């Protein structure tokens, strides 16, 4: 029994290390995205900026959570946020280059960008509407200060 308790303790420590590493990786990934040139990101998305803050929503055909949960949140976000963000949906199976450019590992994933293409936030997994609305507000503020 003592051996099993010790083994569980070690597994617990490994899990804590994994969680810590994943958070470190997420911060590092956001830093990398923030340093990436806006032009590269726009090119990967195959869109041109139109002056609005952007929410890039990554999904895949087999992602039930994208259809049933993340998309309704994005529709609500369009109605809730002022200014309304531009929402760009990316199917990672059709646009693997865009997923690579943004370092997407899982779906749903969302990336919030200012209108000038600066990445403000990256969310792995489902992102609730309040969180996205706050990130869009910061992105809009960031765009305004950048254009001054």
Partner 1 sequence: MATSADGRSGSGGLIGEGNPALPTYDVTARKAHQWAMVGLIALGFIVGGRVAAVPIAVAGAIMLLGRFWWPADLVRQIVWRALEPWGILRRRDAHEDHETRRVARVLGGGVWLVCALLLGIGLSVPAWLLSGAVALMVVLDASVDFCALCFASAQLDRRRAGGHRPVSG
Name the residues that contact partner 1, by CB under 8 A.
1, 4-5, 7-8, 15, 19, 22-23, 45-47, 57, 59-65, 68-76, 78-79, 86-96, 98-99, 104-108, 124-126, 128-129
| 74 vs 112, beta carbon nearer partner 1 | 74
Min CB(31)–partner 1 separation in Å: 19
Rg (CA), the chain: 18
How many residues in the chain?
Answer: 148
Under 8 Å between Cβ of 73 and 55? no
Beta bridge partners of 58: 90, 109
| 124 vs 145, beta carbon nearer partner 1 | 124
Other Cβ atoms less than 10 A from the Cβ of 126: the count is: 15
* Alpha-carbon gap, residue 113 to 94, rounded angstroms: 21
| 65 vs 144, beta carbon nearer partner 1 | 65
SS3 of residue 135 by DSSP: helix
Min CB(37)–partner 1 separation in Å: 18
Min CB(145)–partner 1 separation in Å: 25
């Amino acid at each position: 029994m003592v051996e099993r308790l010790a083994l569980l303790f070690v597994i617990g420590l490994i899990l804590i290390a994994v969680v810590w590493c994943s958070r470190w990786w997420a911060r590092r990934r956001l830093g990398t995205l923030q340093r990436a040139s806006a032009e590269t990101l726009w090119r990967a998305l195959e869109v041109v900026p139109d002056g609005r803050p952007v929410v890039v929503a990554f999904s895949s055909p087999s992602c039930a959570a994208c259809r049933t949960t993340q998309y309704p949140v994005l529709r609500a976000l369009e109605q809730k946020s002022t200014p309304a963000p531009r929402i760009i949906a990316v199917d990672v199976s059709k646009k693997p280059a865009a997923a690579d450019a943004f370092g997407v590992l899982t779906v749903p994933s969302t990336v919030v960008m200012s209108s000038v293409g600066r990445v403000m936030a990256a969310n792995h997994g489902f992102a609730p509407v309040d969180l996205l609305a706050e990130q869009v507000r910061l992105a809009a503020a960031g765009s305004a200060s950048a254009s001054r």
